[in-house]
Structure 1
Amino acid sequence: MRTARPRHYLMCRPTHFDVVYSINPWMDPAKPVDTQLAITQWEKLREVYLSLGHTVDTIDPLPGLPDMVFAANGATVIDGRALVARFRDAERIAEGPAYHDWLRDNGFPDLRTAHVVNEGEGDYLLAGEWLLAGTGFRSDPRSHDEAQEFFGRPVIGLTLVDPDYYHLDTALTVLDEQTIAYYPAAFSPGSLAVLRRLFPDAVIATAEDAAAFGLNATSDGHNVVLPHNATGLTEQLRARGFHPIGVDLSELLKAGGSVKCCTLELRTAAQSHDPA
């Protein structure tokens, strides 16, 4: 039996969403973006979370920061402590202070901005007692030591090798404390061996489902919210006893983001022992 547990999420309405620069292979400024459609799709995701009993806070979007909708990148919050992101790309640097201020003003006084490049839950995913940490394209590998010292939890470094999957949360999702799903081709041979050793019963995504951003998902231990067109992954999850819920975030995918990218989990000390 899978058990759903209430989550506390932070999201950012895509009021200023657009693709005006390219910092990952999914972004093409030459392709038109429908901001209103992006808002409608985002609102549907928020409604799904609320219908599942989760708490959803929102941070005000700032003009000139079209990627601020991807709240997962803003910080990592575990045990009530927040390590705020330090972005690699100049276009996103101002997002860090915005998330820092929101967390400070909303009950997270124990916080620090990362000293080296660290793109929040884009590259940091809590799996039981382990903090899975991605590197290769965005977060600096030195940030793994910083995160381990800050959170006092063992950090498992994982190297990404396919630029289409530039953040860990595009190639791996945590389903519960013991179960993950991931796309093997996104990882270096050594990192893949680590994943196989730590999670021998993992759900393995196909290339088609990974390309649909099916792994950019959220789970409360039972309900898994993921892109609706990751159909093979949906069937695998259902067979494992999870309840997959498909949503359409196709407009946001034009910037290389989907469900998880839009969702930063705010974990208190008690909640940090639940699946991420």
Structure 2
Amino acid sequence: MTVADVRGLGSLDQRSGLTVLPVPAAPDEPRLPRARRYLMCPPEYFEVAYAINPWMNLGVVVDRAEAMRQWQELRRTYERLGHTVEVITPEPGLPDMVFAANSGTVVDGRVLGARFRAPERAAEAEHYRRWFGENGFRDVVMPACTNEAEGDFTWTGSVLLAGTGFRTDPAAHGEAQEVLGVPVVSLRLVDPRYYHLDVALFVLAEGGPGRSPLVAYLPDAFSPGSRRVLARLFPDAVLATEQDAACLGLNAVSDGRHVVLPLEATGLADQVAARGFEPVFVDVSELRKSGGGPKCCTMELRA
């Protein structure tokens, strides 16, 4: 579904073939996309077979064919935007393996694997570790501490934001710093609905020399101290509403210009468009039955 389908407005980007929201005001600097490399896993065995987060309901019926259609459209969206998508083979009995973001954190070619808190997902980590080994990644470390990878680790281009409170152990933050060799800032999550950092915050534009990163987040998902840290680090952040967070609008993926987010997150889309980004809507209604959105399905492979 396109932006125009959702909002009754928008125009066709001839380069990408995607319908995007118009930019209402020019930002201080142009928003430049950067080609990314992603790892994804088809939802071939996707179902709600257990309940390990507030989004999961054992009574819900999953339309696996529709989940696959939505996943394929997400993949095609990335490819139309100029990104490379690698695919790992799904394994029977691992219905949440589709959520690739939870199984590895890659910065500068170094890989920190995952160690899941829920035993139902534990086996996923080994399948992803093997994929890294078979696809040219030589610096791969499996963690001693529980961490759910990009579910709780978010790279800003200068520091790694690290969530804790529900899944990832605080000690995993220090381990990530040692393995990945980047500075880590710890943030405490306090709302059970937003048990992973990637459903409470995402990076719109990475920082670099002379350039600060820009993020969007839901303040109420964080402890008072963490809110102060975020306000200090990102004074110009986009502050999401509860309505947009509740449809997993913050489980979004940005390439520095295009922001791929759930089609229900129209308020958040307006905010990021006002900052010079181009929102691109995708339907993730089936995948959301397990608490997943675009980012959950997407691990970034940073060379």
Q: Shorter chain as normaliser: what TM range?
A: over 0.9
1:201 has 2:236 as partner:
yes
1:225 has 2:254 as partner:
no
Alignment counterpart, residue 211 of structure 1, candidates 246, 267, 275: 246
1:34 has 2:69 as partner:
no
The CA distance in 1 between the partners of 2:198 and 2:278, in whole Å, is: 20
Q: Decide which structure has the larger Cα Rg and report it.
A: 2
Q: Indicate the residue corresponding to 2:27 in structure 1.
A: none
Alignment counterpart, residue 131 of structure 2, candidates 97, 102, 109: 102
Q: What are structure 2's unaligned runs of at least 5 residues?
A: 1-29, 207-212
Q: Indicate the residue corresponding to 1:6 in structure 2.
A: 35
Q: Indicate the residue corresponding to 1:271 in structure 2.
A: none
Alignment counterpart, residue 152 of structure 2, candidates 123, 141, 163: 123
The CA distance in 1 between the partners of 2:294 and 2:234, in whole Å, is: 23
1:56 has 2:53 as partner:
no
The CA distance in 2 between the partners of 1:147 and 1:46, in whole Å, is: 28
Give the letter for the 1:68 counterpart: M
1:154 Cα offset (Å)? 0.8
Q: Deviations over 1:109-158 (max 9, x none)?
A: 10011111010100000012100000000000000000011111110000
Give the SS at the match of 1:224.
strand
The CA distance in 2 between the partners of 1:107 and 1:167, in whole Å, is: 29
Q: Which runs of 4+ in 1 moved over 3 A?
A: none
Q: Deviations over 1:51-95 (max 9, x none)?
A: 001000000000000000000001000010100000001000000
1:40 Cα offset (Å)? 0.4
Q: Indicate the residue corresponding to 1:169 in structure 2.
A: 198
Q: What are structure 1's unaligned runs of at least 5 residues?
A: 269-276
The CA distance in 2 between the partners of 1:3 and 1:129, in whole Å, is: 18
Q: Indicate the residue corresponding to 1:274 in structure 2.
A: none
Give the SS at the match of 1:250.
coil
The CA distance in 2 between the partners of 1:72 and 1:203, in whole Å, is: 23
Q: Indicate the residue corresponding to 2:173 in structure 1.
A: 144
1:31 Cα offset (Å)? 1.0
Alignment counterpart, residue 251 of structure 1, candidates 286, 294, 302: 286
Give the letter for the 2:244 counterpart: D
1:185 has 2:240 as partner:
no
The CA distance in 1 between the partners of 2:49 and 2:101, in whole Å, is: 20
Q: Indicate the residue corresponding to 2:189 in structure 1.
A: 160
1:111 has 2:140 as partner:
yes
RMSD, aligned α-carbons = 0.5
Give the SS at the match of 1:254.
helix
Give the SS at the match of 1:216.
coil
Give the SS at the match of 1:10.
strand
Q: Deviations over 1:237-259 (max 9, x none)?
A: 11000011000001000000100
Percent identical pairs in the alignment equals 60
Length-normalised TM-score, structure 1: 0.97
The CA distance in 1 between the partners of 2:302 and 2:129, in whole Å, is: 15
Give the letter for the 2:226 counterpart: S
Give the letter for the 1:180 counterpart: V
Give the SS at the match of 2:286.
helix
Tell me the matched-pair count.
268
Q: Deviations over 1:212-259 (max 9, x none)?
A: 100000010000000011000000011000011000001000000100
The CA distance in 2 between the partners of 1:164 and 1:36, in whole Å, is: 27
The CA distance in 2 between the partners of 1:129 and 1:41, in whole Å, is: 32
Give the letter for the 1:69 counterpart: V
Q: Indicate the residue corresponding to 2:20 in structure 1.
A: none
Give the letter for the 1:148 counterpart: Q
